[in-house]
Amino acid sequence: MTKLSVNINKIATLRNARGGDRPNVVQAAKDCERFGAQGITVHPRPDERHIRYQDVYDLKSIVTTEFNIEGNPTPDFLKLVKEVKPEQVTLVPDAPDAITSNAGWDTIKHKDFLTNIISEMKSLGIRTSIFVDPAESMIEGAAIVGTDRVELYTEDYARQYHTNREAALAPYVKAAAKAQEYGIGLNAGHDLDLDNLKYLKDNVPGLLEVSIGHALICDALYYGLENTIQLYLRQLK
């Protein structure tokens, strides 16, 4: 079964909109795990507009499943990761002012940069994943830099899903096959939801984990958090 890691950034966004501590991010993470989530993902950004760096420190002591920290590997971010030592770090090349992640790494252009960071993370016992577009050349580059996993950026798939899902999925299937060829683990994330998740899971070989936040939290407004997590888990069976 493909694992579900719940991204709780939007919980923090709601808290920050009003100040104070409602909803409580730590309690939300505990509840997500209690309701069946197999991982917790956070993506702190420099302006701390949702998850704050202090949240990450607070969460480390209570997350009992897999803790996945995503982000652009700036010096401050890398310091945070080295101190928290999550089970997984996902390196994402997002600009400081990006609303959300919008592209994967050029693993060829940034080969030396990624190689050095990944080597350091591995020396600390932290599994590394890098955010990539579904291109075979980027998977080949990922193998060269030594990453443990790649996370396929699935926005293009989600955008085209209701128009032509077979065509939308095709590059992801090829990328997954290339990852398996090189022995790289496979994650996926971005704009996955209850409509498009099962088709991706059923047709992309070797999919180990999906990270889902925005759609899942939106669905929870209507279905409740516990029921929503169970609905997503059913899509992954």
CA–CA separation, 227 vs 121, rounded Å? 36
Nearest CA to 171 out of 212, 133, 211 is that of 133
213 in a labelled binding site: yes
CA–CA separation, 48 vs 192, rounded Å? 24
- Residues recognised as catalytic: 43, 70, 190
Q: Indicate the burial class of 47 (C-beta count within 10 angstroms; 0-12, 13-18, 19 or more).
A: exposed
CA–CA separation, 170 vs 165, rounded Å? 9
Instruction: Find the helix or strand (DSSP H, E) in which 185 lies.
Output: strand 185-189
Instruction: Find the helix or strand (DSSP H, E) in which 69 lies.
Output: strand 66-71
Asked if 8 contacts 69 with a C-beta cutoff of 8 angstroms, the reply is no
18 in a labelled binding site: yes
CA–CA separation, 33 vs 88, rounded Å? 17
Other residues' Cβ atoms within 10 Å of the Cβ of residue 117: 20
| Residue 124, token pair as written in the block | 């600390």
Other residues' Cβ atoms within 10 Å of the Cβ of residue 143: 16
185 in a labelled binding site: no
49 in a labelled binding site: no
Task: Provide the annotated binding site for 1-deoxy-D-xylulose 5-phosphate.
Answer: 45, 50, 100
Please enumerate, by residue number, every residue annotated as part of a binding site. Answer: 7, 18, 45, 50, 100, 191, 213-214
Annotated binding site for 3-amino-2-oxopropyl phosphate, which residues? Answer: 7, 18, 191, 213-214
